[in-house]
Amino acid sequence: MKNRAFRKTIAAFALAAAVFSAAGANAADPIWKQLDPAQLEKLLDGGRVAFVDRAQRPGKELAVSGVIVNAPPEKVWNILADYESYPKMINQITRVKVIEKKSDFAVVQFYMFLIKLGPVKIQTDYIQKWKYDKPRKITIVSLDEKNVKKKKYNETDDPANAIVWELVPTADGKRTMLFHTTISDISESGVVGKYMVERQPTIQIGFDLANALIQTEAIKIRAASGK
């Protein structure tokens, strides 16, 4: 079963690469937005996709994962914004602290296990502002802890390094095409993380792609559970 799922992912990845390469370039939009919605839905029906987007933000490598979720966008949105449930959905997230939650944004601190190298566990924690653009988009930016203590939530907004969730309803409105665009910096997690990136720079985009796939799949599974 796992091998079949892996083959479907690889096939979808190859198909996505071919389709996205053929699409017209527009740096203002994610690559997948250059596709006709019907074509995009058909692509995702073949399995989850993952790819690297180098066109959207000059000088940046963005990891993107897309999946079909068998639930309408409203339900998927509610799952995304249920921060306290993330440790149950995603194994790498060990703890979550909601610092502030408003109608148009939330400030959340995540504690995350990154990778294990022999006896050494690389862990990190970070504070993010989740900005809501209902019902289709959530933009996530990192916040400095000092500014958070002063409730200066707009001081460090950095769109160049923003993480994005986007929800697109399928033609019948019953399902959701869910896309996760992410970028991170393992070197900020400490000396070991910095050493890893210096020795093997490609580990960074590999980590981001894996993270994007894990998170979209987790949301899909949570929606299917009916909880």
Which pLDDT tens digit goes with each residue over 49-76? Answer: 988 887 777 767 788 999 999 999 999 9
Name the pLDDT band for 185 (thresholds 50, 70, 90).
Answer: low
Q: Which residue has the higher pLDDT, 220 or 29?
A: 220
pLDDT, average across residues 99-112 = 94
Mean pLDDT, all residues of the chain: 80
Give me the pLDDT at residue 173, please. Answer: 95
Give me the pLDDT at residue 24, please. Answer: 45
Domains present along the chain, CATH in parentheses: 2-23+30-225 (3.30.530.20)
Q: Let me know: does 24 contact 36? Beta carbons within 8 Å.
A: no
For the record, the structure tokens of 188 come out as: 């900020």
Whether pLDDT at 165 is above 80? yes
Whether pLDDT at 19 is above 90? no
Give me the pLDDT at residue 45, please. Answer: 94
Whether pLDDT at 22 is above 50? no
